[in-house]
Chains A and B, each alone.
Chain A
Amino acid sequence: MNTIVAPSLTTPSRKENEPLLTLDRLSVSFETPDGTVRAVNDVSFEVAHGETLAIVGESGSGKSVTGQAIMGLHRKTNGTVTGSVRFNGRELTTMSERELRHIRGNDIAMVFQDPLSAFHPYYTIGNQIIEAIRLHRPVSRRVARARAVEVLDFVGIPSPGTRVDEYPHQFSGGMRQRAMIAMAMVNEPKVLIADEPTTALDVTIQLQILNLMVQVQAELGTAMIMVTHDLGVVGEIADRVLIMYAGAVAEVGEVERVIAQPAHPYTAGLLGSLPRIDLPTQRRLEAIPGSPPSMLMPPPGCKFHPRCAFRSEEAGCFTTEPQLTPHAEGRSVRCFLPLTPKTTARDTQEPSRDV
Chain B
Amino acid sequence: MSEQATIKTSAAAEPLLKVRELEKFFTLPGKGLLQRNGATVYAVNGISLDVHAGRTLGVVGESGCGKSTAGRTIMRLLEPTGGKIEFDGRDITRVKGESLRMLRRQMQMVFQDPKGSLNSRQTIGTILSAPFRIQKVTPPGGTRLAIQDLMDRVGLNPEHYNRYPHEFSGGQQQRIGVARAIALSPKLIVCDEPVSALDASIQAQVVNLLKDIQDETGVAYVFIAHDLAVVRHIADEVAVMYLGQIMERGPMDVVFNRPMHPYTHALLSAVPILDPAARSRERIVLSRDLPSPLAPPSGCVFRTRCPIAQDICAVEAPPVTEPEPGHLIACHFPSTTPPSTSALPMRVIHTSTQKTN
Residues of A within 8 A of B (CB): 1-3, 5-8, 10, 58-59, 150-151, 154, 156, 172-175, 188, 202-208, 210-211, 215, 219-220, 229-236, 255-256, 259, 269-278, 282, 284-289, 291-292, 351, 353-355
CB neighbours (8 Å) of A219 from chain B are 349, 351, 353
CB neighbours (8 Å) of B273 from chain A are 232, 235-236, 277-278
Convert B327-357 into 0s and 1s, putting 1 for each residue whose CB lies closer than 8 angstroms to a CB of A: 0000000000000000000010111111111
CB neighbours (8 Å) of A277 from chain B are 228-229, 232, 256, 268, 271, 273
Residues of B within 8 A of A (CB): 1, 62-63, 155-157, 160, 168-172, 199-205, 207-208, 211, 226-230, 232-233, 256, 266-279, 283, 285-286, 289-290, 347, 349-357
The chain A residue with its CB closest to the CB of B157 is A355
Whether B354 lies near A285 (C-beta < 8 A) is no
22 contacts between A and B (CB under 8 A): A2-B352, A3-B353, A10-B357, A188-B353, A202-B226, A204-B62, A204-B267, A207-B285, A208-B285, A219-B351, A219-B353, A229-B199, A231-B200, A232-B271, A256-B277, A272-B204, A273-B201, A276-B274, A278-B274, A287-B204, A288-B201, A354-B171
CB neighbours (8 Å) of A229 from chain B are 199-200
Minimal beta-carbon separation of B218 from chain A (angstroms): 19
Q: Could you say which of B168, B199, B204, B274 has the most chain A C-beta atoms within 10 Å of its C-beta?
A: B274
CB neighbours (8 Å) of A7 from chain B are 356
Whether B275 lies near A203 (C-beta < 8 A) is no
Whether A236 lies near B279 (C-beta < 8 A) is yes
The chain B residue with its CB closest to the CB of A13 is B357
Minimal beta-carbon separation of A351 from chain B (angstroms): 7
The chain B residue with its CB closest to the CB of A353 is B155
Whether A278 lies near B275 (C-beta < 8 A) is yes
Whether A207 lies near B270 (C-beta < 8 A) is yes
* Besides A7-B356, A269-B201, A274-B200, 15 new A-B residue pairs in contact (Cβ under 8 A), listed by A number: A58-B199, A188-B355, A215-B349, A232-B229, A255-B276, A256-B276, A271-B274, A275-B230, A277-B228, A278-B274, A282-B1, A287-B202, A287-B208, A288-B204, A292-B199
CB neighbours (8 Å) of B356 from chain A are 5-8, 10
Whether B276 lies near A235 (C-beta < 8 A) is yes
Minimal beta-carbon separation of B286 from chain A (angstroms): 5
The chain A residue with its CB closest to the CB of B65 is A202
CB neighbours (8 Å) of B256 from chain A are 277
Whether A287 lies near B201 (C-beta < 8 A) is yes
Contact of A3 among B266, B269, B354 (CB under 8 A): B354
CB neighbours (8 Å) of B357 from chain A are 8, 10
Known A-B contacts A206-B272, A220-B355, A277-B268; A291 and B200 likewise in contact (beta carbons under 8 Å): no
Q: Could you say which of A156, A235, A272, A287 has the most chain B C-beta atoms within 10 Å of its C-beta?
A: A287
Cα distance A149–B218 in the bound complex, in angstroms: 58
Minimal beta-carbon separation of B124 from chain A (angstroms): 11
Known A-B contacts A202-B62, A233-B272; A273 and B172 likewise in contact (beta carbons under 8 Å): no
Minimal beta-carbon separation of A109 from chain B (angstroms): 15
Known A-B contacts A235-B276, A259-B275; A354 and B172 likewise in contact (beta carbons under 8 Å): yes
CB neighbours (8 Å) of B204 from chain A are 272-275, 285-288
The chain B residue with its CB closest to the CB of A210 is B272
Whether B354 lies near A5 (C-beta < 8 A) is yes
Whether A154 lies near B353 (C-beta < 8 A) is yes
CB neighbours (8 Å) of B289 from chain A are 172-175, 205
Whether B226 lies near A203 (C-beta < 8 A) is yes
Minimal beta-carbon separation of B247 from chain A (angstroms): 13
Cα distance A206–B62 in the bound complex, in angstroms: 11
Known A-B contacts A234-B274, A282-B233, A287-B208; A150 and B199 likewise in contact (beta carbons under 8 Å): no
Cα distance A172–B285 in the bound complex, in angstroms: 17
Cα distance A236–B276 in the bound complex, in angstroms: 6
Cα distance A291–B204 in the bound complex, in angstroms: 12
Cα distance A7–B211 in the bound complex, in angstroms: 60
Cα distance A39–B279 in the bound complex, in angstroms: 33
Whether B353 lies near A354 (C-beta < 8 A) is no
Cα distance A355–B204 in the bound complex, in angstroms: 16
Whether A204 lies near B274 (C-beta < 8 A) is no
Whether A273 lies near B274 (C-beta < 8 A) is no
Whether A278 lies near B278 (C-beta < 8 A) is yes
Whether B199 lies near A59 (C-beta < 8 A) is yes
The chain A residue with its CB closest to the CB of B290 is A202
CB neighbours (8 Å) of A269 from chain B are 201
Whether B352 lies near A3 (C-beta < 8 A) is yes
Minimal beta-carbon separation of B338 from chain A (angstroms): 14
